């Protein structure tokens, strides 16, 4: 499948989009879909007020709209979900074609993930921005990894003396983020080891900041995450090696943590594959996995800002944001987990929630996800840019 075609109405300032399903929709320049008005009644989170909500010209309003189609009453309505660690455009062998990219984006959308922070992809996915029926992507450019110390065809692989310039390139390629691979197995050492000297990492982070970008890093082990947090990094992905001092520093400086908790189930398999050649590494991975809830529980108690991410792409399946919410609830409860995948994540990434005049990106459920959390995996409605893209009982 290829990107949707569209034409412009110069007098009205509108765009007419011919979607992948053959339908035609009119939307404004910012992507909001100008379809029939919608009406929802229910409990709007996070505030918890029972109210009526309308969607008019793709935007939220709390003023009654005439001739609106009712989607139902007694719903639980959330700002569109956020997958804060996702790799649209990435497959197990590297970049994928546009059709596969589209399929990935649709799986994420249909699960309710309407905003995706793409934490590293070698594919050019800018065409997705022209599709009113696909999630919004905030890109981190391509992973930046140490030569031959990451998955093949995924990253821009460089040596330490090239890191600063490589980070500058990806800062310009992305949407305000850069993704480093902070550690990986060092085959000579037989265990996880930092990819970058601490002083070089600090220079690279400073360069990204000068380019107007924030930096996050893949970190499994203890040393890499401690050094990168000390170097001024803005985010940590996975973070299984966090110690008490690093947690305290992250909480103090509001360094974001995206633990990809559900996807950490791959750790035992990684250990099994490595056990014969790298027994120290295998034991280390098993230990990190065994104490993951203790580690992230400490981060939660300390007030480290945590967000939901599935690590979809590469080898992970898309459309799993609901499973990540359920996993995170074991760390901080349902309200915490829902916020990590919705309103708090949107605030962190600078995107609005459900307020008067804001774009209508929302998910709605027939049961209260705060008390029946499993319902988050099965949205009744998904509304993207004012259009119903998922009707769970259609």
Report pLDDT digits (tens) over 30-56: 555 567 899 999 999 999 999 999 999
- Whole-angstrom distance, CA of residue 306 vs CA of residue 260: 10
| Distance of alpha carbon 374 from alpha carbon 371, whole angstroms | 9
Going by the DSSP 8-state scheme, the letter that residue 317 receives in this structure is P
Residue 6 predicted with pLDDT over 90: no
Cα gap 37→30, rounded to integer Å: 18
- Least Cα distance to 14 among 132, 109, 106 occurs for 132
Residue 170 has pLDDT above 50, yes or no: yes
Measure the CA–CA gap between 196 and 157, rounded to whole angstroms.
12
**pLDDT recorded at residue 36:** 87
Across the range 182-191, mean pLDDT stands at: 97
Residues 58, 151, single domain; the answer is no
* Cβ–Cβ under 8 Å, residues 344 and 336: no
Q: Predicted confidence band at 28 (pLDDT cuts at 50, 70, 90)?
A: low
Is there a single domain that holds both residue 99 and residue 43?
no
CATH number for the domain spanning 103: value is 3.20.20.140
Sole residue written with tokens 């979607």: 19
Same domain, 123 and 22: no
Per-residue model confidence (pLDDT) at position 3: 42
Instruction: Based on the fold, state whether residues 58 and 206 are members of the same structural domain.
Output: no
Same domain, yes or no: 268 and 381: no
- Model pLDDT for residues 255-307, shown as the tens digit of each residue: 999 999 999 999 999 999 999 999 999 999 999 999 999 999 999 999 999 99
Q: Tokens in use for 293?
A: 């809830």
Same domain, 332 and 381: no
Q: What is the number of H-type helices and E-type strands within the chain?
A: 11, 23
Given a cut of 70, whether residue 9 has pLDDT beyond it is: no
How many residues make up the chain in this entry? 394
Reduced to 3 states (helix: H, G, I; strand: E, B; else coil), residue 382 is: strand
Q: What CATH number did the domain enclosing 48 receive?
A: 2.30.40.10
Instruction: Compute the mean pLDDT over every residue in the chain, rounded to the nearest whole number.
Output: 93
Work out the pLDDT band at 2, boundaries 50, 70, 90. very low
Question: Domain residues for 387?
Answer: 5-79+356-391
For the entire predicted model, the pTM comes to: 0.91
Same domain, 301 and 343: yes
Residue 4: per-residue pLDDT = 42
Taking residues 173-192, what's their average pLDDT?
Answer: 97
Angle between helix axes 292-302 and 321-332 (nearest 10 degrees) is 70
Burial of 340 (0-12, 13-18, 19+ CB in 10 A): buried
Rounded Cα–Cα distance for residues 318 and 56 (Å): 30
Decide which of 173 and 19 is more confident.
Answer: 173
Looking at the 3D structure of the chain, how many domains does it have? Answer: 2
pLDDT at 18 over 60: no
**Cα–Cα distance, 150 to 153 (Å, whole number):** 9
Q: Specify whether 117 is located in the same domain as 224.
A: yes
Average pLDDT for 325-354: 98
State what percent of residues in the chain have pLDDT above 90.
Answer: 89
Q: Are residues 108 and 45 in the same domain?
A: no
Distances (CA, A) of 160 to 48, 58, 182, 223: 50, 47, 12, 17
Per-residue pLDDT at 31: 53
**pLDDT at site 343:** 98
pLDDT tens profile 360-378: 999 999 999 999 999 999 9
Same domain, 329 and 373: no
User: Do 261 and 379 fall into the same domain?
Assistant: no
- Residue 394 pLDDT more than 80? no
SS3 (DSSP) at 285: helix
| Percentage of the chain exceeding pLDDT 70 | 91
Say yes or no to pLDDT of 328 above 90.
Answer: yes
């Amino acid at each position: 499948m290829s990107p949707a075609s569209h034409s412009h109405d110069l007098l009205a300032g509108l765009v007419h989009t011919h979607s992948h399903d053959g339908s035609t929709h009119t939307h404004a320049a910012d992507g909001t879909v100008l379809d029939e008005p919608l009406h929802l009644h229910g409990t709007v989170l996070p505030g918890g007020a029972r109210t009526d909500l309308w969607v008019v010209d793709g935007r939220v309003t709390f003023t009654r709209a005439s001739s609106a189609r009712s989607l139902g009453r007694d719903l639980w309505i959330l700002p569109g979900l956020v997958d804060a660690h996702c790799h649209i455009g990435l497959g197990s062998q590297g970049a994928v074609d546009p059709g596969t990219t589209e399929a990935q984006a649709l799986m994420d959308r249909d699960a309710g993930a309407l905003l995706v922070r793409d934490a590293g992809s070698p594919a050019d996915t800018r065409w997705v921005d022209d599709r009113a029926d696909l999630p919004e992507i905030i890109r981190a450019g391509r992973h930046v990894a140490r030569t031959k110390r990451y998955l093949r065809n995924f990253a821009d692989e460089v040596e330490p003396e090239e890191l600063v310039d490589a980070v500058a390139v990806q800062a310009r390629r992305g949407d305000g983020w850069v993704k480093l691979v902070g550690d990986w197995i060092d085959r000579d050492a037989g265990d996880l080891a930092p990819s970058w000297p601490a002083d070089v990492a600090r220079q690279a982070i400073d360069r990204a900041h000068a380019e107007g970008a924030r930096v996050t890093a893949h970190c499994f082990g203890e040393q890499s995450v401690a050094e990168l947090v000390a170097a001024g990094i803005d985010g940590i992905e996975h973070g299984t090696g966090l110690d008490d001092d690093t947690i305290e520093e992250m909480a103090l400086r509001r360094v974001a943590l995206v633990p990809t908790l559900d996807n950490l189930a791959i750790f035992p398999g990684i250990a099994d594959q490595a056990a014969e050649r790298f027994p120290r590494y295998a034991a280390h991975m098993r230990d990190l996995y065994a104490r993951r809830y203790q580690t992230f529980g400490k981060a939660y108690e300390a007030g480290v800002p945590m967000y939901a991410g599935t690590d979809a792409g590469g080898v992970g399946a898309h459309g799993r944001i609901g499973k990540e919410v359920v996993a995170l609830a074991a760390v901080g409860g349902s309200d915490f987990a829902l916020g990590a995948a919705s309103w708090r994540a949107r605030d962190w990434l600078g995107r609005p929630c459900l307020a008067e005049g804001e774009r209508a990106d929302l998910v709605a459920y027939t049961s209260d996800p705060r008390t029946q959390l499993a319902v988050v995996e099965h949205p009744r409605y998904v509304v993207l840019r004012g259009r119903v893209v998922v009707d769970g009982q259609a």
